Amino acid sequence: MSVITPATDLLRQQDPQMADVLAGERQRQAETLQLSAAENFTSPAVLTALGSALANKYAEGYPGARHHGGCEYADLAERTAVERARALFGVEHANVQPHSGSSAVLAAYAALLRPGDTVLAMGLSYGGHLTHGSPANFSGRWFDFVGYGVDAATGLIDYAQVQELARAHRPKAIVCGSISYPRHPEYSAFREIADEVGAYLIADAAHPIGLVAGGAAPSPVPYADLVCATTHKVLRGPRGGMVLCGAEFAERVDRAVFPFTQGGAQMHTIAAKAVAFGEAAGPAYTQYAHRVVANARALARALEDRGFTLTTGGTDTHLISADPARLGIDGPTARGRLAAAGIVLDTCALPYGDQRGIRLGTAAVTTQGMGEAEMVRIAGLFTAALRGGAAAQTRKEVAELTGGFPPYGV
């Protein structure tokens, strides 16, 4: 790819050891199937912004009110990113500085809560994120989390249970959002429950925000007080986070991001976010977001036909949660055999018992240009990989498939 090649050549001259590492990763991405539900391939334009001179600029504060000099272009980059995010999501205020999805959630809590407050969120054993109360994370240490689950039989959120827990625990905030839930949360139901008990509603839309941008998923913006998101999952931007909210929360959110939880923003990343928001505003991206969902549905059906049990019986998103138990194998073993065959994905919690399943998504393969026919082919490769014994052969077939769909267009 032309935007990468000259810089890559310079790096190779100076540091061949590291150049080999980067070339190896590029080859790995090209020759294996990237089915991690959290990953995607950004455009060359996004990568160009990431590798730009703004990487060297310090810009603590906000446009027009920086603690450093020389911020005229940094300000332009951030104002553009904010304006584009506001237009894309139809929201009054956007803070695009969070370094990651987790930083966005930390800032959201900092804006609305005090240590010791009670928060109701999806339990981690059902698909809640680390920042939703894990004892290993700041969230579990500093707040009193109560977890809601999903129905063991259907895998769906049980809104009666959420309401019951909200009434019993009177949380200061309710969090909706998950790392593995393949359906859309009913944001209006969460809003009603939050209103009934006087709680804030925080939507952690790290996964679906890219579908929201393309009109392929309902938006949490009209319902949630704060929407936290990543920019690097389906949304196909640089690694990073953001917080969206109404004007009434703007000041609290901004102060919660800087100076409360972060220092200087990463201006090259903010420029790359602006580029990604610009891409997401176009018709090609809208088509992309809908194809991501169509591909996920096709892949889900094909996996079900091959013996996988799908959490919630399918998907409305880019994400599939599946139990391979009927194939006589558990999630971690499946992930290992698939990885050996060049099929990369994650394990995830299942709604029942302690067994783990597999979690996969179609954002990256759809960016590569794959369609429903390829999804069926991928399901066939799953079967071959899980049988074990012929990993090298399956890996070759995977490389043949991906060879026709180079991730960076070359």
Catalytic residue ranges? 58, 60, 204, 230, 233, 239
CA count, 13 A, side-chain hemisphere, 286: 5
By CB under 6 A, is residue 118 in contact with ligand PLP? no
By CB under 6 A, is residue 102 in contact with ligand PLP? yes
By beta-carbon proximity to ligand PLP, the closer residue of 203 and 398 is 203
Strand partners, 100: none
Is there a binding annotation on residue 99? no
By CB under 6 A, is residue 133 in contact with ligand PLP? no
Question: What token pair was written down for 101?
Answer: 């999805």
Residue 384 and residue 28: Cα distance in Å, rounded? Answer: 20
By beta-carbon proximity to ligand PLP, the closer residue of 106 and 341 is 106
By CB under 6 A, is residue 207 in contact with ligand PLP? yes
Strand ranges inside 16-149, DSSP E: 33-34, 61-62, 65-66, 93-95, 118-122, 144-148
By CB under 6 A, is residue 206 in contact with ligand PLP? yes
E strand or H helix at 200, and its extent?
strand 200-204
Among 97, 230, 266, 366, binds ligand PLP (CB under 6 A): 230
What is the size of the binding site for ligand PLP (CB under 6 A)? 15
By beta-carbon proximity to ligand PLP, the closer residue of 211 and 329 is 211
Orientation of helix 391-403 relative to helix 16-31, angle to 10°:
90
Judged by CB under 6 A, which stretch of 147-155, 172-180, 183-191, 395-403 contacts ligand PLP? 172-180
Is there a binding annotation on residue 128? yes
Q: How far is the CB of 206 from ligand PLP (least distance, A)?
A: 3
SS3 6: helix
By beta-carbon proximity to ligand PLP, the closer residue of 199 and 228 is 228
Closest CA to 148 of 126, 131, 129: 126
By CB under 6 A, is residue 101 in contact with ligand PLP? yes
Among 133, 171, 177, 331, binds ligand PLP (CB under 6 A): 177
Among 57, 84, 93, 129, binds ligand PLP (CB under 6 A): 129
SS3 62: strand
Among 120, 179, 345, 378, binds ligand PLP (CB under 6 A): 179
Residue 271 and residue 74: Cα distance in Å, rounded? Answer: 8
Question: What token pair was written down for 44?
Answer: 């060359």
Strand partners, 204: 228
Helix, strand, coil percentages, rounded to 5, for the chain: 50, 15, 35
The binding site for (6S)-5,6,7,8-tetrahydrofolate comprises 124, 128-130, 248
Binding site for ligand PLP (CB under 6 A): 38, 100-102, 105, 129, 131, 177-179, 204, 206-207, 230, 241
